[in-house]
């Protein structure tokens, strides 16, 4: 049993990155925020628009889409951010350190860094069958409490979020949790492949350039 656990952990840490696009599932859409300048960093930090995840995490994205197809036909997963090379995390951190925005960016100089750099975190939203983004109440990477799932009930009561917006968030969460992903309390779009502690035990941090992934 001990040997089996060691081998399983080693295999997971060596799990390859898989490109996530409509070749993996025809419903998948990409709108990678950091391959453009219209993000909260105000700069393009990815050389190409590409979503890559660990193979097991990519499989969970397929499972989440199949759940949508079964329960909410017409909804499609739209990926905003996936695997993030560690050197890019350093660029992001340097652009926000010393500002209020630093609360939203993991410090790569710590022992753990960002879960995105493990290939085990994904930022995702919903789109309709024509590829139009569903209104979730805030854009991806909105900096504020309105984006935090833990405050949704209050904002719904205060009419700062509509029932349709909250329902759409629930549809997304239900699909991702059904697939085996974990939510976080402060970003409706962010999901991890388990708790941060378990992710860091299961995988190691990567610095593979995006434009070298095939």
Convert the pLDDT of each residue in 18-42 to its tens digit.
999 999 999 999 999 999 999 988 8
* pLDDT grade for 10, boundaries at 50, 70 and 90: low
Cite the DSSP H helix spans in 113-189.
Answer: 152-157, 163-178
Count of structural domains, the chain: 1
| Enclosing domain of residue 152 | 2-212
Token readout for 29 is: 């859409």
Full-model pTM? 0.92
pLDDT of 155: 98
d(CA 129, CA 113): 36
Give the burial class of 51: count Cβ atoms within 10 A of its Cβ; 0-12 exposed, 13-18 middle, 19 or more buried. Answer: buried
Q: Rg for the chain (alpha carbons), in Å?
A: 17
- 41, 122, 184 from 177: Cα distances, Å: 29, 13, 11
Which CATH number does the domain housing residue 6 bear?
3.30.1380.10
């Amino acid at each position: 049993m001990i040997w089996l656990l060691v081998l399983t952990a080693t295999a997971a840490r060596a799990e390859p990155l898989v490109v996530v696009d409509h070749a993996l599932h025809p419903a998948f859409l990409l709108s990678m925020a950091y391959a453009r300048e219209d993000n909260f960093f105000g700069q393009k930090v990815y050389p190409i628009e590409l979503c890559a995840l660990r193979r097991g995490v990519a499989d969970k994205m397929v499972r989440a889409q199949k759940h949508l197809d079964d329960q909410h036909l017409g909804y499609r997963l739209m990926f905003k951010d996936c695997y993030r090379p560690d050197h890019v995390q350093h660029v992001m951190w340097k652009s926000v350190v010393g500002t209020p925005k630093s609360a939203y960016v993991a410090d790569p100089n710590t022992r753990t860094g960002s879960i995105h750099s493990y290939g085990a975190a994904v930022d995702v939203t919903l789109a309709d069958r024509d590829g139009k983004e569903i209104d979730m109440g805030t854009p991806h990477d909105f900096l504020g409490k309105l984006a935090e799932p833990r405050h949704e009930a209050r904002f719904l009561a205060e009419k700062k979020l509509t029932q349709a917006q909250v329902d759409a968030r629930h549809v997304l969460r239900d699909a991702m949790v059904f697939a085996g992903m974990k939510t976080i309390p402060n970003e409706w779009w962010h999901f991890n492949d388990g708790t941060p502690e378990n992710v860091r035990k299961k995988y190691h941090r990567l610095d593979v350039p995006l434009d070298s992934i095939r």
